[in-house]
Amino acid sequence: MKWDISEMGSWTYGQFPPGAIIPEAGNSNDYITGGWRSERPWRDDATCTQCLLCWIVCPDSSINVADEKVTSFDLDHCKGCGICAQVCPVDAIEMVPEGCELPGVK
């Protein structure tokens, strides 16, 4: 079943499926979990060797890859754990406090 949860924030109690059932399979992508992050990853493309180690280890599948190359982070779901920065062999990823300007972004 397709389940539209876009207005869930304003649902009244009768609108939720009884028993807290989630009636749509595989919809966790729609559930934004990035809100609890206190630091966000920032990747320096010039240093990155595209080894994809960060993509393998990210516990939230939040490293976006296209054509076998890291393109960006999925900040809707990245929890800011810093594992990617920790494993990067060339220190291409830096953890930057949320709410601060990102390095290289003016």
Query: How wide is the angle at C-alpha 29 spanned by C-alphas 75 and 65, nearest 5°?
Result: 55
Cβ distance to another protein smaller for residue 33 or 71:
33
Cβ distance to ligand SF4 smaller for residue 17 or 59:
59
Cα 100 to Cα 21: distance, rounded to the nearest angstrom:
38
Taking residues 3 to 22 in sequence order and writing x for each that binds another protein by CB under 8 A, - otherwise, the string is -----x--xxxx-xxxxxxx
Choice from 2, 4, 7, 25 touching another protein (CB under 8 A): 25
65 binds ligand SF4, rule: CB under 6 A: no
33 binds ligand SF4, rule: CB under 6 A: no
23 binds another protein, rule: CB under 8 A: yes
Contacts of 58 (CB under 8 A, 6+ apart): 78, 83, 84
Cβ distance to another protein smaller for residue 14 or 89:
14
Total residues at interface with another protein (CB under 8 A): 16
Cα 85 to Cα 58: distance, rounded to the nearest angstrom:
10
